[in-house]
Structure 1
Amino acid sequence: MKDVQGKNVLQYKQKQNLYNAITKSTIYFSGYTWEIKEPSTPVGPGPNYWSGDNVWVDENGWLHLRIRKNPVTNIWECAEVSATTNFGYGTFQWKIDGPLSTLDKNVVLGLFNYSGNDRYDEMDIEFARWGNDAWDILNYTVWPATGSLDTIPGVHTANFTMSGTYSTHRFKRTADSVVFKSMHGFQDDDTYMFENKTFTSPSTSISTLSMPILMNLWLYEGNAPSDGQSVEIVIHEFKYTPL
């Protein structure tokens, strides 16, 4: 099942330019400035429609990402932000409030860095079943470095269950490894860790570039949630700790 899921993700990403972002405005969250994606026409990933109305920071300083059907147009619209800062080696951590283990099969939450070179220079934490309820919800992916002869990403998938809605997810990147970890609750260490995976060079080609961080909530292949419900994820904190 894991090999099939990994191939499905690869085939999907090879078919489109994922992040043809057009930005409308910026927000300030967790110490960084983020550009909001809001093109006038559908673009990838998906392709989907995107709206700045689905991105906001509340009075607590928490970032909200939402998928909802526009009440005027009846079109489902998604959310994405990208940092204006490039990040190098270090640890990237997110504290998230949301029912990640039970997201609809068509909903994808992505936390990742990306150079803009499609199918290269990317490290992903994604919560997605890619349209299939039988597939694992948690996806760790490392896409090859630009210039590498390797065109196949390293992929690890897993299922998990949550007793609440708080969880922490992080990856640490160095020149020759990417270490992913996921914990129940809000943690700054490995307490209540339920999944982890290490990708190392040379078996996995690892990018050495400094890249922006992106966060998005979107619909697989542009398909509406199968349950017809809006989705909202709250990110309490993004934290970057350089090496």
Structure 2
Amino acid sequence: MNRNSILSILFLLGLLACGPKRLQREYMPHSVHFAHRDWWIKSSPEIQGPGSNVFSYRNVWVDWQGHLHLKVREKDNRWTCAEVYTKDSLGYGRYEMEVEGQLGDLDPYLVFGFFTWDPHTFEDQANSEIDIEFSRWGFPLAPRVLHYSVHPVSLQKLFLERFQSSNSNPQNWNGRSRHIMEWRDTSITFYSYRINRRDEELLESFHYSFKNPPRKKGVEGQFSEAITVPKPGESNQARFNLWIFGAKEAPLNERETEIIIRDFRYEAY
């Protein structure tokens, strides 16, 4: 066996050895420190929800200014998404983010979400989920891009009182904006501000209260208890994500997208 053949075999063995290590690294827990908090990064080579996505720690980082970056990108012919969530448990309170990006021109297949979630409260509190989301939900000509919701928002039909889609011009959300969720035991109120050079302007709000009818959540044949305003569970988290909607394997325009969360604040009530 000549020298070149030996080198080729050694190279192939090296690739085989690195493969499991790369997979192991994807499964390892990764975290970032942002806005005076520690955040877990969702990362796995397997498909996970929301949608049918692969999430990678490589799509999340904090820059030298302390801003959190989320990115959807392609590597090795595979599109991957980004999600982070607080290590500590949060409850009733004021959740606030300042975000920067072209949210008004977000790819029709992409969703940027700022929301609360508890993995253990499906049966009694519909996962304690409230959302601010930017998306056109797969419709390129959809005129609305900003949406508020208090889950559950649907069970065979939409519960119209549990969500609101903003009529504001989507271009208002290009650049910097500030968004707030005020979560109390009797109500949830949302606010969205456009940040200009010298000031900011309130462009959208939505108020939801216990006076609305209770609703159930249905998932794969299971149903939650009927709820009005969800209660936070013991593992309630604040989350940010950027992901591909539905069963799509890539953004419609097949371009990488990056969103910057400049700040996050939480004040307990």
TM-score, length-normalised on structure 2?
0.74
Alignment of 1:78-93 (within 5 A): 78-93=81-96
Which of the residues 245, 251, 259 maps onto 1:225? 251
Q: Show structure 1 runs of 5+ residues with no match.
A: 1-21, 145-150
Higher helix share: 2
Which of the residues 197, 206, 211 maps onto 2:229? 206
Query: Paired residue for 2:141?
Result: 134
Match status 1:122 vs 2:129: yes
Alignment of 1:26-45 (within 5 A): 26-45=31-50
Contact 2:102/2:175 (8 A) holds in 1 = yes
Q: Distance in 1 between matches of 2:93 and 2:162?
A: 19
Q: Distance in 1 between matches of 2:196 and 2:31?
A: 27
Q: Distance in 1 between matches of 2:132 and 2:59?
A: 21
Query: Paired residue for 1:3?
Result: none
Aligned CA-pair RMSD: 2.3
Q: Distance in 2 between matches of 1:182 and 1:215?
A: 16
Query: Paired residue for 1:63?
Result: 68
Alignment of 1:178-189 (within 5 A): 178-185=188-195
Query: Paired residue for 2:268?
Result: 242
Greater mean alpha carbon deviation, residues 221-230 or residues 159-168: 159-168
Q: Distance in 2 between matches of 1:226 and 1:80?
A: 20
- Aligned structure 1 segments of 4 or more residues deviating by more than 3 angstroms: 117-120
Q: Distance in 1 between matches of 2:247 and 2:256?
A: 14
Q: Closer, same or farther in 2 for the Cα pair 1:125/1:163, shift >3 Å?
A: closer
AA aligned to 2:31 is T
Query: Paired residue for 1:106?
Result: 109
Count of residue correspondences:
213
Q: Distance in 2 between matches of 1:40 and 1:233?
A: 22
Q: Distance in 1 between matches of 2:149 and 2:212?
A: 14
Which of the residues 56, 77, 81 maps onto 1:51? 56
Q: Distance in 2 between matches of 1:167 and 1:97?
A: 7
Alignment of 1:143-158 (within 5 A): 143-144=151-152, 152=159, 154-158=162-166
Contact 1:168/1:186 (8 A) holds in 2 = no
Query: Paired residue for 1:77?
Result: 80
Contact 2:112/2:133 (8 A) holds in 1 = yes
Contact 1:99/1:162 (8 A) holds in 2 = no
Q: Distance in 2 between matches of 1:115 and 1:23?
A: 21
AA aligned to 1:139 is H
Q: Distance in 1 between matches of 2:28 and 2:246?
A: 21
Contact 2:103/2:173 (8 A) holds in 1 = no
Structure with larger Rg: 2
Q: Closer, same or farther in 2 for the Cα pair 1:124/1:69, shift >3 Å?
A: same
Contact 2:105/2:174 (8 A) holds in 1 = no
Q: Show structure 2 runs of 5+ residues with no match.
A: 1-26, 153-157, 214-227
Q: Closer, same or farther in 2 for the Cα pair 1:164/1:131, shift >3 Å?
A: closer
Query: Paired residue for 1:25?
Result: 30
1:50-72 CA-partner distances (Å, limit 9, x unpaired): 111100001111000000011xx
Give the secondary structure class of the aligned counterpart of 2:107. Answer: coil
1:181-228 CA-partner distances (Å, limit 9, x unpaired): 1000179xx940111000111305111224111110000024211111
Q: Distance in 1 between matches of 2:179 and 2:54?
A: 27
